[in-house]
Amino acid sequence: MRLVILLIAMLAGLVALPASAERIKDLGTFQGLRTNQLTGYGIVVGLAGTGDDNLDYTTQGMRSVASRFGLTLPAGQTQPSLKNAAAVMITAELPAFAKPGQKLDITVAALGKAKSLRGGTLLMTPMQGADGQIYAMAQGNLAVGGLGVTAADGSNVTVNVPSAGRIPGGATVEKAVDAGFATTPEIKFNLAEADLTTVERVADAINARIGTGRARAIDAVTVAINAPQGAEVRTALMGQIEDLLVEPADAPARVIVNARTGTVVINGAVRIAPAAVSHGKLTVKVNETLKVSQPGPFSNGQTAIVPKSSISIDEEKHPMFRFAPGASLADIVKAVNAIGASPADLVAILEALKEAGAMKADLVVL
């Protein structure tokens, strides 16, 4: 009996899943379960003379902060020099299902002419969402990775960016965002990349798990799923769906060219129709040298410097090569390496193949 059980276990281990199968959670997200951007305007204090000095909006901010504690600065009479304070913008992302009391990491960046935020402390600042409501409160000591030093003669040394920093756990959630997924008529799953084949496969995998007809593809991105209303029921259902395995459709044939760095990326779906390619270089070099001309003895002549030019032409000759029908990525790489083409040459060859109609692929130039 034990031998039979062991044999069954071994056979089960040999059953391999598709090599390219991916979890549904890695292909997209459920509609409504998204992050929300938060922003805030605040004041950083405690700087070592690297603040905004007397910028108007920094001064106004400090007046507002002082008024919270019952300190009133006479308007128009006192203009504080705020070299140790700086006006800043604070940004953060509020995750889906974030609850009051949870901590958020925040990024703080100088708004004015502050040279460095190193050693600064952010005063309590409300953070608002796109609807203008306050969802978090931020405060804490900044961690700045940059460094800036200025000498008396005006010379300076700057490492990284000292005018921006982060505060891990620097904001506390004060209000939760209602995702609304518990009361919507349907649950909708959106693919990260539109693909008609993949969206149909996702719908089929969901129907196979929870029942035929429960999921349907609306378009190339969205799958609508019928589900009972209620946060607990839908949370359990969405958890089951996320772990389902789906084999996504092959990516479209695409060639990515980064013109700035000379990087060329060709995916495995690119195929080349029958084509012949010849590529060579013509290099013209002009060398300019100066030659001293001495006059003959007793000629009353003058020493003169005359230019001397030499021109050389170097032409690299490469044999023509031919792509067989249905040439793959390996064939393209082999042919290009055979002629010793540089990235710039490869771009020219690919553009020519595209124009000739021999390469059926999207050519994307960054």
Q: Give the pLDDT confidence of 62-73 residue by residue, as tens digits.
A: 667 666 666 666
3-state secondary structure of 29: strand
Q: How would you classify residue 211: left for phi > 0, otherwise alpha for psi between -120 and 50, otherwise beta? A: left
Distance between CA atoms of 275 and 323, rounded to whole angstroms?
A: 5
Tell me the per-residue pLDDT of 2-28, one tens digit each, with 9 for 90 and over.
Answer: 433 333 333 334 333 444 788 998 999
Q: Is 357 exposed, middle or buried (0-12, 13-18, 19+ CB in 10 A)?
A: exposed
Alpha helices in 15-142 (DSSP H): 56-68
Give the other-Cβ count within 10 Å of 43's Cβ. Answer: 23
pLDDT(286) > 50: yes
3-state secondary structure of 32: coil
- pLDDT > 70 fraction of the chain, expressed in percent and rounded: 66
> What is the average pLDDT across 294-303?
71
pLDDT at 180: 76
Q: What is the mean pLDDT of the chain?
A: 77
pLDDT at 261: 74
In this structure, are residues 218 and 31 in contact, taking their beta carbons and an 8 Å threshold?
Answer: no
pLDDT at 3: 38
**Phi and psi for 3 in degrees, rounded to 5?**
-65, -40
Q: Which amino acid is at 124?
A: M
pLDDT(38) > 90: yes
Give Cα 202 distance to the centre of its chain. Answer: 27
Work out the pLDDT band at 213, boundaries 50, 70, 90. confident
- Pick from 129-143, 242-256, 266-280: least confident: 266-280
pLDDT at 10: 38
> What is the average pLDDT across 351-360?
77
Distance between CA atoms of 140 and 148, rounded to whole angstroms?
A: 22
pLDDT(97) > 60: yes
> What is the average pLDDT across 267-275?
74
DSSP state of 258: E
Write out the two tokens for 184.
């919507």
Distance between CA atoms of 348 and 96, rounded to whole angstroms?
A: 46
Work out the pLDDT band at 356, boundaries 50, 70, 90. confident
Distance between CA atoms of 164 and 159, rounded to whole angstroms?
A: 12
Distance between CA atoms of 182 and 131, rounded to whole angstroms?
A: 21
Distance between CA atoms of 315 and 306, rounded to whole angstroms?
A: 30
pLDDT(137) > 90: yes
Distance between CA atoms of 186 and 296, rounded to whole angstroms?
A: 102
Work out the pLDDT band at 156, boundaries 50, 70, 90. low
For residue 38, what are the β-bridge partners?
Answer: 92
pLDDT at 2: 42
